Amino acid sequence: MKTSDTENSLFDRMRSYGTRKDHVLIGVMSGTSFDGVDAVAVRISTESDGRIGQIHYLDHASVPYSPEAKEILLPLCSLREATIDTLVYAHFMLGEWYTQAVQDLLETSCLGADSIEAICLHGQTVWHAPVIRQMPGPQGPVGVHGTLQIGCAAVVKERTGIPVIYDFRAADMAAGGEGAPLAPYVDSLLFGHPTRGRIVQNIGGIGNATAIPAGASQERVFAFDTGPGNMIIDELVRRMSRGSRQYDEDGATARSGEVSAPLLEVLLDDAFFSMSPPKSTGREVYGASYVDRLESLGKKEGLSYEDMIATATALTAETIVRAYKDHIMPKMAVDDVIIGGGGALNSTLLSMIQERLPPAVSLETTMHFGIPIFAREPLAFAVLGHEALMGHPGNLPATTGAKKPVILGSITL
């Protein structure tokens, strides 16, 4: 069969990507909070040696998941509720949601589809399994780990006519890494400072921290998941409101409750928090089953939902700052903590974090640096897609645990 002229043109454009010095890409992300889809347009200029010169944030669009979509997606993160039939249909369904986010972004930014080099699609994580498990191999048992992000890239390409880079985490895992976190590669480019040591903290469903020493090369940057971010808080709010609310707006519910020190102590007795990096986690650990246990413990203690939400918020704040004190501050001076993700909108959570930080450490959100709080991660994957098209590795082995740097992602034309 012959390919169409359009497909041949796309192939030629991808093949010649590295010869151009200016590129516009779209990064698309749907995180572990299951809030919806964020798409970011980014302009990237390259130097004569092919390295990134400048990264310019252009515009951002969000498409929140409908309650019906969430009802389909959230059970896919549960061993008890997930079915292969729903997984398959949801994979293609999400292609339509990602397409809508891209189309909304093109409309609001007045960018034409023909001006976009590629869409860089993270996908929706439904299961993350970084722990090695022995499985049958062709020549005997083999150690296997993996991760699954769904959302059909071929659907997005077909609807938009733009090449799509996807499945970013698999190459790192194949090289022995945990496939996460990947955004630190870009954090060092966006937030590194010659004289100030910085931590970039994303608070989505899961929290993850990027440590950037003052004046550091990328080889000295490291990162890891700190534990639950908004995930437990959101699930408690959904249960409290019987589904009418999806998150604790500005931390108002937590602010009206009391933190239970006994329950918090039990929750902090968790093997993940004491593990040394590299480490990553997800909804398969801190999802609905975890909240079932928290809720049961809270009810035995006579706690209200407000108290449980306050305690869950304190858990996120405490584990974030403990992670700094245990794994980052012994290795580098920290001047600034920069918060992104939905947690940056929770003033109660930010206050709890600030209270636990040393007084000399400043706390800002990514907005202070011109990057909307929901834009950091999709922007990061746009940059990782660019690096893949340039033939450059996009992982940091010291962060993910991979044996070597690798080029990330697959592409559909």
| Predicted local distance difference test score (pLDDT) of residue 3 | 59
Confidence of residue 7 (pLDDT cuts 50, 70, 90): low
The mean pLDDT of 332-359, rounded to a whole number, is: 97
Indicate whether 312 pLDDT > 90. yes
Question: pLDDT tier at 248 (50, 70, 90 boundaries)?
Answer: very high
Residue 298: band (very low, low, confident or very high) from pLDDT cuts 50, 70, 90: very high
**pLDDT value, residue 15:** 84
User: CA separation (Å) from 186 to 65, 214, 286, 329, 381?
Assistant: 27, 16, 26, 21, 8
- Encode pLDDT of 42-92 as tens digits: 999 999 999 999 999 999 999 999 999 999 999 999 888 999 999 999 999
Q: Say if residue 4's pLDDT is above 70.
A: no
Tokens of 297: 């413990």
Percentage of the chain beyond pLDDT 70 is: 98
Q: What is the C-alpha separation between 41 and 383, in angstroms, rounded? A: 10
**pLDDT score for 251:** 97
pLDDT score of 403: 96
Checking if the pLDDT of 144 tops 90, the result is yes
Q: Cα Rg for the chain, rounded, in angstroms?
A: 21
Q: Is the pLDDT of residue 217 over 70?
A: yes
What pLDDT does 219 receive? 81
Domain 184-360 has CATH 1.20.1080.10: no
Q: What is the pLDDT of residue 398?
A: 86
Beta partners for residue 29, in sequence order:
38
> How much of the chain exceeds pLDDT 90, in percent?
87
Q: Which range is least confidently modeled, 1-5, 118-122, 204-208, 381-385?
A: 1-5
Q: How far apart (Å, rounded) are the C-alpha atoms in residues 348 and 103?
A: 35
Query: Whole-angstrom distance between the N-terminal and C-terminal Cα of the chain?
Result: 16
Q: What confidence score (pLDDT) does residue 260 get? A: 98
Ranges of each domain in the chain: 5-179+374-412, 184-360
Question: What is d(CA 263, CA 323) in angstroms, rounded to the nearest whole number?
Answer: 20
Q: Which band of pLDDT confidence, cut at 50, 70 and 90, is reported for residue 156?
A: very high
Tens digits of per-residue pLDDT, 86-103?
Answer: 999 999 999 999 999 999
Look at the pTM and tell me if it is higher than 0.75: yes
Is 180:280 a contact under the CB 8 Å cutoff?
A: yes
CA distance 1 to 38: 37
379-389 average pLDDT score: 96
At 109 the pLDDT is 95
Average pLDDT over residues 4-26: 83
What pLDDT does residue 163 have? 96
Residue 5 has pLDDT above 70, yes or no: no
Nearest CA to 276 among 336, 330, 212?
A: 330
* pLDDT score for 71: 93
Of 3.30.420.40, 3.40.50.620, 3.40.50.300, 1.10.10.10, the CATH number of 5-179+374-412 is 3.30.420.40
Mean pLDDT of the chain: 94
Domains 5-179+374-412 and 184-360 share a fold: yes
| Res 2 pLDDT > 70 | no
DSSP-assigned letter for residue 294: H
Q: Quick check: 321 pLDDT over 80?
A: yes
Q: What phi, psi does 258 have (nearest 5°)?
A: -115, 135
Give me the mean pLDDT over the 364-387 stretch.
94
